[in-house]
Amino acid sequence: MNQSPEETSTSDTEAKLAAWWKELLGVEVVRPEDHFLEIGGNSLMATVLSNRIESELGVEVSMVELFDTLRAVATLCDELLQEQTA
Give the 3-state DSSP-derived string for the chain, with helices as H, strands as E and coil as C.
CCCCCCCCCCCHHHHHHHHHHHHHHCCCCCCCCCECCCCCCCHHHHHHHHHHHHHHHCCCCCHHHHCCEHHHHHHHHHHHHHHHHC
- The predicted pLDDT at position 8 comes to 53
- Domains of the chain plus CATH, in order, are 12-85 (1.10.1200.10)
Q: How confident is the prediction along the chain (86 residues), in pLDDT tens digits per residue?
A: 344 444 455 789 999 999 999 999 999 999 999 999 999 999 999 999 999 999 999 999 998 999 999 999 999 999 999 999 88
